């Protein structure tokens, strides 16, 4: 059967709002992945959600019946570790303001993390990733680190994310508070940064023209694809309605209801 997907050799797939919502599969997403495997297409998942490690995401996906290896998951943390490795910063000491799970994952990657906040002056960089336990002390030490010259990295610059209760502060809001205390540039590790799209392309190991990005967020998935120079499809099964997609200045190449083949 001819469909928009048949034209592409590789896929970069967002998770929330595309494959699942609140970790429940969205209709047709599993069938879509089965189709990709049957047709020998390549795919990676690219999420801005940094609460878990790539390995933990691949476990969740496999449990849901979505075939996926750890290498097929790219998150802002993948990008962060890559930056530290490429720029030979692995020996620098850094402070991490994130979920416990993520911190443990970063430690396993042999990155030197300062655990005692009173040593904030030794920190060359800090990583901020919104999480339910982020508190005033975190905000205070993160601000003190950047005042003392630490480079600021954020897993995303989204200001809010949707929950059943309504929109709640995301990493971007925490970064805004740090910047209010002490103005400093921030490196966004997540979508729409070109670097994270490049990492996803490297994992696929194919040309840009052969890739389709599928996402539900215009500002991260679609704007990121446009600036990186790959084709994109917006699915209206998540964050963005068909109406708001039509009204937006950010244009995907395709708009799809879901991943039905």
Q: Which helix (H) or strand (E) holds 255?
A: strand 254-256
Q: Which of residues 197-236 bind Mg ion (CB under 5 A)?
A: 216-217
Binding residues for Mg ion, total number by CB under 5 A: 5
Q: Is 138 in the site for Mg ion (CB under 5 A)?
A: no
To 10 degrees, what angle do helices 171-181 and 136-147 make? 50
Q: Is 14 in the site for Mg ion (CB under 5 A)?
A: yes
To 10 degrees, what angle do helices 54-63 and 100-108 make? 120
Q: Is 16 in the site for Mg ion (CB under 5 A)?
A: yes
CB of 114 to Mg ion, least distance (A): 32
Could you tell me which residues come within 8 angstroms of residue 24 by beta carbon, excluding any fewer than 6 positions away? none
Structure-block tokens of residue 26 = 């969205």
Taking alpha carbons only, the member of 54, 52, 45 closest to residue 214 is 45
CB of 219 to Mg ion, least distance (A): 11
Segment interacting with Mg ion (CB under 5 A) among 10-18, 167-175, 192-200, 205-213 = 10-18
Q: Is 17 in the site for Mg ion (CB under 5 A)?
A: yes
Please say which residue, 16 or 138, places its beta carbon nearer to Mg ion.
Answer: 16
Taking alpha carbons only, the member of 21, 27, 18 closest to residue 45 is 18
Structure-block tokens of residue 51 = 């609460």
Please say which residue, 125 or 237, places its beta carbon nearer to Mg ion.
Answer: 237
Q: Is 49 in the site for Mg ion (CB under 5 A)?
A: no
Q: Is 10 in the site for Mg ion (CB under 5 A)?
A: no
Please say which residue, 158 or 216, places its beta carbon nearer to Mg ion.
Answer: 216
Q: How far is CA 167 from the centre of its chain?
A: 18
Contact positions vs Mg ion (CB under 5 A): 14, 16-17, 216-217
């Amino acid at each position: 059967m001819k469909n928009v997907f048949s034209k592409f050799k590789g896929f970069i797939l967002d998770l929330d709002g595309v494959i699942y919502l609140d970790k429940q599969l969205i209709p047709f997403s599993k069938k879509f992945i089965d189709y990709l495997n049957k047709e020998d297409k390549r795919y990676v998942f690219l999420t801005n959600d940094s609460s878990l490690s790539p390995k933990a995401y691949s476990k969740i996906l496999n449990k849901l019946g979505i075939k996926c290896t750890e290498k097929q998951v790219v998150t802002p943390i993948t990008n962060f570790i890559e930056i530290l490795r490429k720029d030979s910063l692995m020996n620098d000491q850094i402070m991490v303001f994130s979920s416990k799970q993520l911190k443990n994952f970063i430690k396993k990657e042999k990155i030197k993390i300062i655990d005692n906040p009173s040593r904030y002056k030794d920190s060359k960089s800090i990583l901020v990733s919104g999480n339910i336990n982020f508190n005033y002390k975190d905000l205070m030490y993160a601000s003190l680190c950047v005042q003392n010259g630490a480079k600021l990295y954020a897993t995303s610059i989204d200001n809010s994310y949707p929950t059943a209760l309504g929109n709640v502060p995301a990493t971007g809001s925490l970064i805004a508070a740090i910047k209010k205390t002490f103005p400093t540039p921030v490196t966004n590790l997540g979508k729409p940064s070109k670097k994270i799209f490049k990492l996803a392309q490297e994992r696929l190991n194919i040309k840009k023209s052969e890739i389709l990005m599928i996402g539900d967020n215009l500002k991260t998935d679609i704007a990121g694809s446009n600036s990186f120079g790959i084709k994109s499809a917006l699915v209206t099964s998540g964050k963005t309605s068909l109406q708001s997609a039509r009204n937006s200045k950010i244009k995907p190449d395709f708009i799809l209801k879901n991943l039905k083949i």
